């Protein structure tokens, strides 16, 4: 099972930058997107279907905002839109698919960069989502959680940790949540395979040279429960894929 997680920062914009052509290269069996900023009706899905993808969408009530989708060449056994948290579901932040005994969750975590109100929402969302995951793990020991977490966990995950110590996405409370999350029985697949520095998945668009000089943040993750750890084959990041201010992150799991 090859899985990609990718914040496309607007799927219609990504398509104009060659996203469909990239899908034609068969980068993965399952493509999980965040921040689609669109509904299914806004996209020519025939292009996806021609490539063999089943496609599932969960969009925000607010037009052109947030939203998640999963394109899969493997037919899911079950689909869950949202996770039962009204404030989150209204923003189209979580979609879940079952493949056999594996639950795949694609999540677009809130950002707190716009101010205190959204930062507080982010904290409450993180706490609620952790509680939800703890309960879900009892029913589904094998879970793959992918998405834009909007958190750089450790100093190795950000190009300028000192300069960003007061920036949303690298605040102590957010990093502590991430530490607790991983300690609760989750594996950061990329770090499991790549302990070395200078790997990022997002670069600010404010300064054109930032991505060129690789001054980024690693805020996109594919996490798996400990029950899946022995099935981990590889995990990587594709910084040269450029349809967005993020890039795709990838994991491969073997069947047992």
108 part of the active site? yes
Catalytic residue among 6, 77, 148, 234: 148
Residue 43 to residue 23: CA distance in whole angstroms = 15
Options 6, 108, 221, 250, the catalytic residue: 108
**Within a 13 Å sphere around the CA of 33, how many CA atoms are in the beta-carbon half?**
29
Beta strand ranges found along the chain (DSSP E): 2-7, 30-34, 54-58, 68-72, 78-81, 94-99, 102-108, 142-148, 186-188, 220-225, 232-237, 249-253
Q: Are 32 and 56 in contact (CB under 8 A)?
A: no
Residue 207, both tokens? 């300064």
- Is 77 an annotated catalytic residue? no
Positions marked active-site: 108, 148
């Amino acid at each position: 099972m090859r899985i990609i997680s990718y914040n496309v920062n607007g799927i219609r914009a990504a398509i104009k930058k060659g996203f469909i052509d990239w899908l034609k290269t068969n980068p993965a069996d399952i493509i999980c997107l965040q921040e689609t900023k669109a509904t299914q009706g806004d996209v020519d899905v025939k292009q996806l279907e021609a490539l063999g993808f089943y496609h599932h969408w969960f969009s925000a009530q607010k037009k052109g905002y947030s939203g998640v989708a999963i394109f899969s060449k493997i037919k899911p056994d079950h689909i869950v839109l949202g996770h039962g948290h009204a404030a989150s579901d209204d923003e189209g932040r979580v979609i879940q698919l079952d493949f056999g005994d594996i639950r795949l969750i694609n999540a677009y975590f809130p950002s707190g960069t716009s101010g205190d109100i959204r930062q507080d929402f982010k904290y409450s969302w993180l706490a609620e989502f952790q509680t939800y995951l703890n309960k879900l793990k009892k029913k589904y020991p094998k879970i793959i959680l992918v998405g834009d977490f909007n958190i750089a966990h450790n100093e190795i995950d950000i190009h300028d940790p000192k300069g960003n110590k007061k920036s949303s996405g690298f605040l102590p409370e957010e990093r502590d949540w991430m530490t607790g999350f991983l300690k609760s029985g989750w594996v950061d697949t990329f770090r499991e395979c790549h302990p070395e520095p200078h790997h990022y998945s997002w670069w600010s668009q404010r300064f054109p040279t930032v991505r060129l000089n690789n001054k980024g943040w690693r805020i996109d993750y594919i996490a798996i429960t400990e029950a899946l750890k022995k099935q981990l084959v590889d995990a990587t990041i594709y910084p040269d894929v450029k349809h967005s201010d993020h890039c795709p992150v990838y994991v491969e799991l073997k069947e047992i």
